Amino acid sequence: MANWALRPGAVVVVATACLLVSSGELSVDRGVAVTEPVSSVADVDSAARAPRASTATGALFADGSHFCSASVVDSPAGNLVLTAAHCVNGGSAGLSFAPGYHDGIAPYGWWTVTAVAVPGGWAASADPDLDFAFLTVEQDGDPHSVQQLAGADTLGFDRGYTNPVTITGYPDTGDSPVACRNTTTRFGPYQQRIACPGFPDGTSGGPWVTAVNPATGDGTVIGVIGGYEQGGDTPDVSYSAYFDHDIRDLYRSVLH
């Protein structure tokens, strides 16, 4: 669900692995409408709402406008951001990330995207089962990392297809995020789906977070809006590639 004309250009592809981590989770240290869990799209509209969003989630910008969503993911250097691969087909040139962005304000500043890593299968054929990417970001003159300032989600994998999650994204028609809580379901062998209303163009790359800390909004990210039909062909149902060894290996590779 990216409102972005995909540009031709080089994409950094990395594909090695050498970091040992515990199975199922990758970790190093460490005012939004939210709909409660419901059983169907029809039920979501009448669900209760409560404010809470992670400052680790933000908007991706190009040419002065946001077009996709992304979130900080825990890493040793604190400089990694997760999004959908279809959001960054043109590489890193001209892209910036604003964590916690709302109402035209970037409370943690603007972070320049300096590198993009996508799976080889996405680079070769835009495989929707591999629609995820890691971005390296930096901010000139700031000794702190984006993770130190905005927080971060832990990367989770092989968590199964049925999980309670909060999804968050930035519709391209507004300057504040929308969020929804519901339970994921399986959609094919390597895809997952969730019924949540109000996730149109611009929300692609938004994180699917489980085990959310109510104080911070951070948790374990197990998906991003993308995959089937680049996130879905209706704003009321979103999709994600299933996070398994493919994203684990890509994550490991960008750390080295």
Instruction: Specify the pLDDT at position 52.
Output: 59
Domain-located, residue 13:
no
Q: Of 6-15, 95-104, 193-202, give the lowest mean pLDDT range.
A: 6-15
Instruction: Specify the pLDDT at position 256.
Output: 78
Instruction: Specify the pLDDT at position 194.
Output: 98
Greater confidence (92 vs 34) lies with: 92
The yes-or-no verdict on residue 17 having pLDDT over 80 is: no
Instruction: Specify the pLDDT at position 215.
Output: 86
Mean pLDDT of the 177-193 span: 96
Domain-located, residue 15:
no
Domain-located, residue 170:
yes
- Taking the C-alpha atoms of residue 224 and residue 230, their distance in angstroms, rounded to an integer, is 10
* CATH code of the domain containing 109: 2.40.10.10
Instruction: Specify the pLDDT at position 255.
Output: 94
The yes-or-no verdict on residue 89 having pLDDT over 80 is: yes
SS3 66: strand
Domain-located, residue 180:
yes
Instruction: Specify the pLDDT at position 20.
Output: 25
Mean pLDDT of the 80-109 span: 96
Grade residue 201 by pLDDT with cuts at 50, 70 and 90: very high
Instruction: Specify the pLDDT at position 1.
Output: 65
The four Cα atoms 223, 224, 229, 233 give a dihedral, to 10 degrees, of 110
Mean pLDDT of the 72-99 span: 96
Number of domains in the chain: 1
Instruction: Specify the pLDDT at position 77.
Output: 97
Mean pLDDT of the 174-184 span: 95
Q: Whole domain around residue 53: which residue ranges?
A: 32-254
Sheet holding 191-195, edge to edge: 185-186, 191-195, 237-241
pLDDT tens-place string over residues 231-249 = 999 999 999 999 999 999 9
Domain-located, residue 159:
yes
The yes-or-no verdict on residue 92 having pLDDT over 80 is: yes
Tell me whether strands 133-138 and 154-156 are parallel, antiparallel or unpaired. unpaired
Both tokens of 19, joined, read 């970091």
Domain-located, residue 10:
no
Domain-located, residue 225:
yes
Instruction: Specify the pLDDT at position 224.
Output: 98
Are 106 and 45 spatial neighbours (Cβ–Cβ below 8 Å)? no
Grade residue 217 by pLDDT with cuts at 50, 70 and 90: confident
CA angle 240, 135, 25 (to 5 degrees): 55
Domain-located, residue 4:
no
Are 224 and 195 spatial neighbours (Cβ–Cβ below 8 Å)? no
Instruction: Specify the pLDDT at position 142.
Output: 85
The yes-or-no verdict on residue 19 having pLDDT over 70 is: no
Instruction: Specify the pLDDT at position 46.
Output: 32
* Rg of the chain over all Cα atoms, to the nearest angstrom: 16
Greater confidence (93 vs 24) lies with: 93
The yes-or-no verdict on residue 218 having pLDDT over 70 is: yes
The whole-model pTM stands at: 0.83
The answer for residues whose C-beta is within 8 angstroms of residue 254's C-beta and 6 or more apart is: 14, 75, 80, 117, 134, 136
